[in-house]
Structures are given as structure tokens and as C-alpha cells.
């Protein structure tokens, strides 16, 4: 009896495992979104970090800093959000073609364009980091660095 229960559990696990793996694949709905950037870790997303700490008394942003940071945020988000749909669409096109048996050479132009779009988004991210660092004081930057490493 116990062997039969274990066999049923194992069979169920084997049957459900591929479904779970498929659900975790980024091409499936509900999965984590695709990053529009070439560098996907290691660079801070200051616009999101500052949004969460906007009124933090320890950060102590001045009204002038807030005004400049809003301008940086608008430019950054505007640029990335205009690129992201193009990146997602092109990525899906490449994946679909590759999984349908397309020759790598036939995808070369699309891969080059995807790389160009992701590079543009990455340059926008780097500009956001640079511009934000120009607005914040060394003390504020040190505070943000400390709060990032507490996670």
C-alpha cells in the first residue's frame, strides 16, 4: 500500500514537473518581465530607490534637488518606456523564429536591432545614474549606498 502511494506521488510529480518548468519560463504570461537593459544587475535604479525614500528625513532632499531629480526621472522613464515595447516585441519575434527552426543568419538583423535598442536603454540608465550622482551630496549617496546593502 505504501509503495503504491509513493508511486502515485512520484508519478504526479513527474507529470507536473514539466508544467511547472514551463510556467517559470519568461516567455509565459505572468513571468517576470524582460529587462530592457544590457546590464541587468549591479547598477542601481536611482529613480526607484529615491521614489521610495523621497521624504526620508535621513536623506533630506532639498526642494531644488527634488525638482532636478523629477526632471531626471521623467527623462529616464520616458526614454526607457518608449524602448521597452520595441524590445519586448523584437525579442518575442526572435524567440518565435528560432523555436520554429529559423537559421541563425536569418535572425542576424533582428538580433543587431535588439542589441541596439538594449544598448540605448542601458545608456539612458547610465546617464540617469550619472545625473543623479551630480545632484546628490556625498552624504546622501553614502546613505543610499548603506540602505541598499541592508537588503
Per-residue pLDDT reduced to its tens digit, 37-96: 999 999 999 999 999 999 999 999 999 999 999 999 999 999 999 999 999 999 999 999
Contact 132, 50 (CB under 8 A): yes
Q: Where are the beta strands (DSSP E) in the chain?
A: none
Of 17-21, 68-72, 144-148, the range with the lowest mean pLDDT is 17-21
Tell which residue, 130, 136, 148, 131, has the closest CA to residue 41. Answer: 148
User: Does any domain span residue 1?
Assistant: no
Per the domain annotation, does 42 fall within a domain?
yes
CA distance 58 to 45: 19
The verdict on residue 4 lying in a domain is no
In order of 53, 57, 75, 90, the CA distances from 149 in angstroms are: 15, 19, 27, 35
Across the range 127-143, mean pLDDT stands at: 98
C-alpha cell at 105: 543568419
Domain region containing 74: 36-149
DSSP letter (8 states) at residue 105: G
pTM reported for the whole predicted model: 0.76
- Which tens digit of pLDDT belongs to each residue from 104-130? 999 999 999 999 999 999 999 999 999
Q: How far apart are the C-alpha atoms of 84 and 34, rounded to whole Å?
A: 9
Residue 143 within any structural domain of the chain? yes
How far is it, in rounded angstroms, from Cα 136 to Cα 132?
A: 6
Compute the distance between CA of residue 12 and CA of residue 10 in angstroms, rounded to an integer. Answer: 5
Residue 65 counted as domain residue:
yes
Helix axes 63-99, 108-135, angle to 10 degrees: 170
Task: Provide the 3-class DSSP secondary structure of residue 1.
Answer: coil
Gap between the Cα atoms of 117 and 111, Å rounded: 10
Please indicate, yes or no, if residue 140 is contained in any of the structural domains: yes
The answer to whether residue 127 sits within a structural domain is yes
Residue 9: inside a domain, yes or no? no
**How many independent structural domains does the chain possess?**
1
Amino acid at each position: 500500500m505504501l509503495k503504491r502511494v509513493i508511486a502515485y506521488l512520484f508519478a504526479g510529480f513527474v507529470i507536473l514537473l514539466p508544467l511547472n518548468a514551463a510556467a517559470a519560463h519568461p516567455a509565459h504570461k505572468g513571468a517576470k518581465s524582460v529587462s530592457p537593459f544590457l546590464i541587468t544587475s549591479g547598477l542601481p535604479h536611482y529613480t526607484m530607490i529615491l521614489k521610495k525614500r523621497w521624504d526620508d528625513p535621513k536623506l533630506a532632499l532639498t526642494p531644488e534637488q527634488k525638482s532636478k531629480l523629477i526632471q531626471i526621472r521623467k527623462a529616464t522613464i520616458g526614454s526607457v518606456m518608449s524602448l521597452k515595447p520595441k524590445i519586448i516585441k523584437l525579442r518575442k519575434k526572435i524567440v518565435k523564429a528560432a523555436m520554429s527552426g529559423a537559421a541563425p543568419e536569418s535572425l542576424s538583423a533582428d538580433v543587431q536591432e535588439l542589441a541596439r535598442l538594449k544598448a540605448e536603454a542601458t545608456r539612458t540608465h547610465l546617464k540617469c545614474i550619472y545625473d543623479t550622482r551630480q545632484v546628490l551630496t556625498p552624504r546622501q549617496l553614502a546613505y543610499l549606498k548603506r540602505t541598499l546593502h541592508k537588503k
